Amino acid sequence: MPVLVMKFGGTSVATLDRIRRAAKRVGVEVAKGYDVIVIVSAMSGETNKLVKYVEETSPLFDAREYDAVVSSGENVTAGLMALTLQEMDVPARSWQGWQVPLQTTGTHANARIESIPTDNIAAKFGEGMRVAVVAGFQGISPEGRITTLGRGGSDTTAVAFAAAFEAERCDIYTDVDGVYTTDPRICEKARKLDKIAFEEMLELASLGAKVLQTRSVELAMRYKVKLRVLSSFEEMNDAAGTLVCDEEDIMEDKVVAGVAHSRDEAKMTLVSVADRPGIAAAIFSPLADAGVTVDMIVQNISEDGRTDMTFSCPTNQVSRAEKAMEEAKAAGAINFAAVKADTGVCKISVVGIGMRSATGVAAKMFKVLANEGINIKVITTSEIKISVLVERKYMELAVQALHDAFELDKA
Amino acid sequence: MPVLVMKFGGTSVATLDRIRRAAKRVGVEVAKGYDVIVIVSAMSGETNKLVKYVEETSPLFDAREYDAVVSSGENVTAGLMALTLQEMDVPARSWQGWQVPLQTTGTHANARIESIPTDNIAAKFGEGMRVAVVAGFQGISPEGRITTLGRGGSDTTAVAFAAAFEAERCDIYTDVDGVYTTDPRICEKARKLDKIAFEEMLELASLGAKVLQTRSVELAMRYKVKLRVLSSFEEMNDAAGTLVCDEEDIMEDKVVAGVAHSRDEAKMTLVSVADRPGIAAAIFSPLADAGVTVDMIVQNISEDGRTDMTFSCPTNQVSRAEKAMEEAKAAGAINFAAVKADTGVCKISVVGIGMRSATGVAAKMFKVLANEGINIKVITTSEIKISVLVERKYMELAVQALHDAFELDKA
């Protein structure tokens, strides 16, 4: 029988009643003839509670014990989902990560999936079981310790199962009804997309559209898993949600698919850095060692052998970045006049695979922002994305203006 | 290094602060030179919450899924205890049942331990780890599914580890400071015992003194595990608590060690049963099939080929017992005039290994009760125990009178 993967996030299994509603959706797919693999998150709030326990117990925790603790919420929902399905006379059982066994790397708290053996679950499907309920987010390391896949990791569990079982589709049930052209809370003209290309989704996910874990999109793209994002709070419907798929499967020929924004950006500038070969490495190696996630990097034109180096990083990493720079200066690795942090900025991006072949998108974007009187502080581009840093007070205005200019409200 | 097993019950790990206090006790034993195996229960309230989830989801639940759900609370405390010890610079790590692996029978929700391989944990002790924190109450079945050992099962986990590692002692930390001659809430003269024999503890445990799971005492007796019950809320002290040990190790020569009581008893009488060979089997087989836990059984003198059969069972099984009897009658398996239930009774027992060699204990007990005007409804005896059913309103009076008469307040 064809296999379908259905993933339910924390809000979709937050109570016994919601688990029942999710199980009914599973029952509908079983009745259609699918063998279903259900991936469940922990009841919403549970994982946060466990993370708090760990952090209060041990601020610099052993990540192996962190994983042993925080993975337990998914075990509860997996068992309850299996029981709920059994109550509906759907033959089901639960699997924890180690029972599959879902093998991962040994990078605790942020492990990557290495392999998913299918024999065990496939054999049970062969014996008449119709639903395998798998605890998301968890696996085991080469040493046999429990690992977790990072926040949002159940999305990646779902896609990996879909790839391993060559599932017809991977449905991600969440609390939003799909992927939007932009954040509907900021721009009321935001429109739900019926389809979006993997590459676009990847950019949007890494730009802060928190619908899917970035890694799950990468994995879906690599293994050509048809991925659908839909709400567990709306009527079931084969056309519901947003399908994340190959660009060949998308009919629309919009150049820009969406506008993303991120509040959580700070702009850091090293003033008057000696401009010499190797200076970039001398700056960014200590930042990487200090765990600072550098996003955009801009180097100004050099004057008199000195230059300004600007980069962006998450707001809560500013003091860590400053400390790393001062230490590198003290150690004689770099030299600069001052390090300035600007936390009053935000990042606005336009994303679309059509930008590969279209020209003038960047020019249009800059003109739209100029017309609104918005000054651009930093620019970076990729093949299918243009991002700018602007003052945070202009965030809503910039998003709305760009959404209008690229006519994203029109299908 | 010598091994010590320390078990902490739910109230002893109810909060992060209590886990820290428990970890300090572990640290003291490590400093003395012990390698320690810590067995933890779930934070108090957690297991009840999970059981409730399961029962609400599926009243006639699949016990395999029940076990997968309710075992998760222990995983949380095991990880948190390991982290707490690490914070105190004590090398520690957690083990879940499947990681040991603690092999059990396949009797889900009430499994028995089959084996505990020691290589894995012993090797870590060899590498410098000082504390192995093991999630109590759980194991895995021959099919690789998670099993649990029944309520109070962490006591049994602790004793089984002590036996497997030939531990010097197994300390059960709980919310009472030891085993008493009787319930201190009923009899203010109750005295904490420094030592009690395995056989006596076994009788007291099965009579409703809820300090230890009965099976843990059986196991300790079989493998000669020195078992100590003590409070995690009092100062540490080598003489604290009550040592459960071989009778040879007990100096006191008291005939009676304690007086136990149980409110949760009902007296059932089948009136005018045909007295013929096989009648007991015809009555008690259907009761066993219905899951009724029959305790005392008394058959009255037969008259005219008919007799009255009386037995006791837990109060909440009365309607189940009545139903089983009526069905057996309807099926023609037995014949009786009426089935009467008396739920206004309680069971009072005196227990002591000295009763094996002493005479007159039963006579003294009956005389004491008669002097207080308490009528005895049913009597049963074993080698080291005499139990009677009396009206429940006399419970306190009976316990206090017997405690006085056998001078249990005197060491």
Which residue shows structure tokens 């007086």? B259
Does residue B408 contact residue B368 with C-beta atoms inside 8 Å? no
Q: How far apart are CA B299 and CA B280, in angstroms?
A: 9
Is position B139 annotated in a ligand binding site? no
More confident residue, B392 or B275: B392
Split at pLDDT 50, 70, 90, the class of B236 is: confident
Residues of B within 8 A of A79 (CB-CB) are 54, 65-66, 68-69
Query: Of B94, B137, B320, which is closest to residue A68 (Cα–Cα)?
Result: B94
Does residue B329 contact residue B322 with C-beta atoms inside 8 Å? no
Check residue A307 and give its pLDDT. Answer: 86
Q: How many CB atoms lie within 10 A of CB A242?
A: 22
Pairs from A204-209 (Cβ < 8 Å, separation ≥ 24): A204/A179, A204/A258, A204/A260, A204/A351, A207/A260, A207/A261, A207/A262, A207/A347, A207/A349, A207/A351, A207/A385, A207/A387, A208/A260, A208/A261, A208/A262, A208/A264, A209/A179, A209/A183, A209/A258, A209/A260
Rounded average pLDDT over A61-79: 97
Check residue B108 and give its pLDDT. Answer: 95
Query: What are the CA-CA distances from residue B388 to residues A274, A284, B329, B357, B381 (Å)?
Result: 95, 82, 29, 21, 9
A87 lies within 8 A of chain B by CB? yes
More confident residue, A210 or B145: B145
Model ipTM? 0.82
More confident residue, A98 or A315: A98
pLDDT for residue A90 is more than 90: yes
Rounded average pLDDT over B313-331: 92
Check residue B305 and give its pLDDT. Answer: 81
Tens of pLDDT along A384-407?
999 999 999 999 999 999 999 999
Residues of A within 8 A of B75 (CB-CB) are 68-69, 71-72, 75
pLDDT for residue A106 is more than 90: yes
Q: Please name the residue ranges forming H helices in A88-223.
A: 119-126, 153-164, 198-206, 214-223
| Rg of the Cα atoms in chain A | 23
A321 lies within 8 A of chain B by CB? no
Q: What is the dihedral of CA B317, B320, B326, B330, to 10 degrees?
A: -150
Asked if A68 and B79 come within 8 Å (Cβ–Cβ), the reply is: yes
Query: Which residues are registered as beta bridge partners of B94?
Result: B133
When the candidates are 1.10.10.10, 3.40.1160.10, 3.40.630.10, 3.40.50.280, the CATH number that belongs to A3-175 is 3.40.1160.10
Three-state secondary structure call for residue B368: helix
Of A57, A83, A145, the CB nearest to B57: A83
User: What six digits make up the tokens of A88?
Assistant: 């509906």
- Is beta strand B138-140 parallel, antiparallel or unpaired with respect to A195-197? unpaired
Query: What are the CA-CA distances from residue B294 to residues A121, A397, B189, B290, B313 (Å)?
Result: 42, 77, 32, 11, 5
Which residue shows structure tokens 């991002």? A387
**If you measure CA to CA, which chain A residue comes closest to B75?**
A69
Is position B153 annotated in a ligand binding site? no
Is position B34 annotated in a ligand binding site? no
Does residue B43 contact residue B77 with C-beta atoms inside 8 Å? yes
pLDDT for residue A209 is more than 70: no
Asked if B57 and A87 come within 8 Å (Cβ–Cβ), the reply is: yes
Tens of pLDDT along B353-377?
888 888 888 889 999 999 999 998 8
A51 lies within 8 A of chain B by CB? no
Rounded average pLDDT over B254-269: 91
Residue type, B237: N
**B89–chain A nearest CA distance, Å:** 11
Check residue A264 and give its pLDDT. Answer: 85
Find the range with the poorest average confidence among A125-134, B138-147, B382-391.
Answer: B382-391
Between positions 360 and 389 of A, the ones with CB within 8 A of B are none
Residues of B within 8 A of A19 (CB-CB) are 57
Q: Please name the residue ranges forming H helices in A32-137.
A: 46-57, 63-70, 72-87, 119-126
Sign (positive or negative) of CA dihedral B158, B159, B160, B161:
positive
More confident residue, A136 or B262: A136
B89 lies within 8 A of chain A by CB? no
Q: How far apart are CA B134 and CA B151, in angstroms?
A: 17
Split at pLDDT 50, 70, 90, the class of B253 is: confident
B129 lies within 8 A of chain A by CB? no
Q: How many CB atoms lie within 10 A of CB A168?
A: 13
Residue type, B353: I
User: What six digits make up the tokens of A216?
Assistant: 């799950």
Check residue A220 and give its pLDDT. Answer: 95
Split at pLDDT 50, 70, 90, the class of B290 is: confident
Split at pLDDT 50, 70, 90, the class of A294 is: confident
Angle at A233 between CA A227 and CA A235, to 5 degrees: 80
Find the range with the poorest average confidence among A284-293, A401-410, B274-283.
Answer: B274-283
Does residue A190 contact residue A399 with C-beta atoms inside 8 Å? no
Output DSSP code: residue B90: -
User: What six digits make up the tokens of B149?
Assistant: 């050992």
Find the range with the poorest average confidence among A232-236, A285-289, B127-131.
Answer: A232-236
B78 lies within 8 A of chain A by CB? yes
CATH 3.40.1160.10-classified regions of chain A: 3-175
Of B50, B64, B79, the CB nearest to A65: B79
Split at pLDDT 50, 70, 90, the class of B239 is: confident
Q: What is the dihedral of CA B324, B326, B329, B335, to 10 degrees?
A: 110
Q: Is B263 exposed, middle or buried (0-12, 13-18, 19+ CB in 10 A)?
A: exposed
**If you measure CA to CA, which chain B residue comes closest to A89?**
B58
Q: How far apart are CA B63 and CA B104, in angstroms?
A: 14
Q: How far apart are CA A405 and CA A408, in angstroms?
A: 8
Split at pLDDT 50, 70, 90, the class of B134 is: very high
Q: Which of A13, A70, A80 to mutate to test the interface with B (most CBs of B within 10 A)?
A: A80
Architecture of the domain defined by A259-405: 2-Layer Sandwich (3.30)
Q: What is the dihedral of CA B209, B214, B217, B219, to 10 degrees?
A: 180
pLDDT for residue A74 is more than 90: yes
pLDDT for residue B145 is more than 80: yes
Asked if B76 and A53 come within 8 Å (Cβ–Cβ), the reply is: yes
pLDDT for residue B58 is more than 90: yes
Does residue B271 contact residue B308 with C-beta atoms inside 8 Å? yes
Of B61, B68, B73, the CB nearest to A96: B68
Split at pLDDT 50, 70, 90, the class of B252 is: low
Question: What's the count of helices (H) and strands (E) in chain B, helices before strands?
Answer: 12, 18
Which residue shows structure tokens 């319930």? B183
Rounded average pLDDT over A240-250: 89
pLDDT for residue B341 is more than 70: yes
Split at pLDDT 50, 70, 90, the class of B208 is: low
Check residue B209 and give its pLDDT. Answer: 64
**If you measure CA to CA, which chain B residue comes closest to A98?**
B98
Query: What are the CA-CA distances from residue A115 to residues A72, A78, A157, A218 (Å)?
Result: 21, 20, 11, 16
User: What six digits make up the tokens of B347?
Assistant: 């069971």
Check residue A408 and give its pLDDT. Answer: 94
Split at pLDDT 50, 70, 90, the class of A250 is: confident
Rounded average pLDDT over A160-171: 97
Q: How many CB atoms lie within 10 A of CB B390?
A: 21
3-state helix, strand, coil in chain B (%, to 5): 40, 25, 35
**A10–chain B nearest CA distance, Å:** 16
Q: How far apart are CA B253 and CA B210, in angstroms?
A: 25
DSSP for B207-268?
TT-TTS-HHHHHHHHHHT--EEEEETTS---TT-SEEEE-GGG-----S--EEEEEEEEEEE
Query: Of B126, B127, B71, which is closest to residue B99 (Cα–Cα)?
Result: B71
For chain B, how many residues are written? 411
CATH 3.30.2130.10-classified regions of chain A: 259-405
Instruction: Provide CB contacts within 8 A for A134, sequence distance 6+.
Output: A37, A38, A39, A40, A78, A94, A95, A97, A100, A102, A157, A161
Rounded average pLDDT over B284-303: 84
Query: What are the CA-CA distances from residue B396 to residues A130, A276, B182, B399, B405 (Å)?
Result: 57, 91, 11, 5, 14
pLDDT for residue B24 is more than 90: yes
Is position B292 annotated in a ligand binding site? no
| CA atoms in the 13 A half-sphere facing the CB of B109 | 11
Split at pLDDT 50, 70, 90, the class of B249 is: confident
Q: Which of B80, B84, B89, B133 to mutate to test the interface with A (most CBs of A within 10 A)?
A: B80
Split at pLDDT 50, 70, 90, the class of B48 is: very high
